[in-house]
């Protein structure tokens, strides 16, 4: 299986880079649907105004953008595999006048940060795409300060997620979606535990 994880990450990067233009166009609408999840994560994060926050697999920036408004004397770093999605996040931060917000292209399984760097680690709807879930979870724990909150939101099967199935069926009517390779993380594919 050598190279498989790298191939999965590259395919994901390519896919999200391709989606970035459409995601930017529909960002406000989609973020409205996802806001209750971000709000709940931020509530249980107990952010102080000087907190250092990491938002992993953040795409166009939420919930990290909202976190940045809550930590005026701290900072927020959002990460994603897709440079183009993070470009949208940076535009969103600039438009909001946020100066305590930065982006970093990286993989959740190899976070380029020192141990015990963050007061809070967030990940909204990213875990389902990580090719090595346990590796990413260990990385989250590694970069979290002692006592930090790690907050994640994930979803269940398609029968319980009409918002995701609606979005994906609409996208697939306009864009040819490549068939996922075997063992690739996908929206609703059940995988054995790693």
- pLDDT per position as a tens digit, 2-52: 357 777 677 776 766 666 565 556 566 566 667 777 889 999 999 999 999
Contacts of 88 (CB under 8 A, 6+ apart): 20, 23, 24, 27, 59, 60, 61
75: three-class secondary structure by DSSP:
strand
Contact 65, 42 (CB under 8 A): no
Number of residues that this document lists for the chain: 194
Band (pLDDT 50/70/90 cuts) for residue 149 is: very high
At the top level of CATH, the class of 4-174 is alpha beta
Mean pLDDT of the chain: 82
- pLDDT per position as a tens digit, 59-95: 889 999 999 999 999 999 999 998 988 999 999 999 9
Q: What is the residue extent of each domain of the chain?
A: 4-174
Contacts of 90 (CB under 8 A, 6+ apart): 61, 101, 103
Chain centroid offset of residue 92 CA:
15
């Amino acid at each position: 299986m050598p190279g498989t994880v790298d191939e999965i990450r590259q395919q994901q990067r390519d896919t999200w880079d391709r989606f970035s233009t459409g995601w930017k166009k529909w960002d406000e609408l989609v973020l409205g649907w996802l806001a209750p999840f971000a709000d709940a994560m931020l509530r249980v994060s107990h952010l102080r105004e000087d907190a250092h926050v990491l938002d992993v697999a953040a795409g166009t920036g939420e919930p990290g953008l909202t976190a940045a408004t809550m930590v005026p004397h701290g900072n927020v770093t959002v990460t994603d595999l897709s440079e183009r999605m993070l470009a949208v996040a940076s535009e969103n931060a600039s438009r909001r006048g946020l100066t305590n917000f930065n982006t970093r292209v990286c993989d959740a399984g190899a976070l380029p940060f020192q141990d015990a760097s963050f007061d809070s680690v967030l990940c909204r709807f990213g875990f389902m795409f990580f090719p090595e879930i346990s590796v990413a979870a260990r990385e989250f724990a590694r970069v979290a300060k002692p006592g930090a909150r790690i907050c994640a939101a994930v979803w269940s099967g398609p029968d319980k997620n009409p918002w995701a199935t609606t979005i994906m069926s609409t996208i697939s009517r306009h864009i040819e979606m490549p068939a996922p390779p075997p063992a690739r993380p996908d929206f609703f594919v059940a995988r054995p535990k790693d």
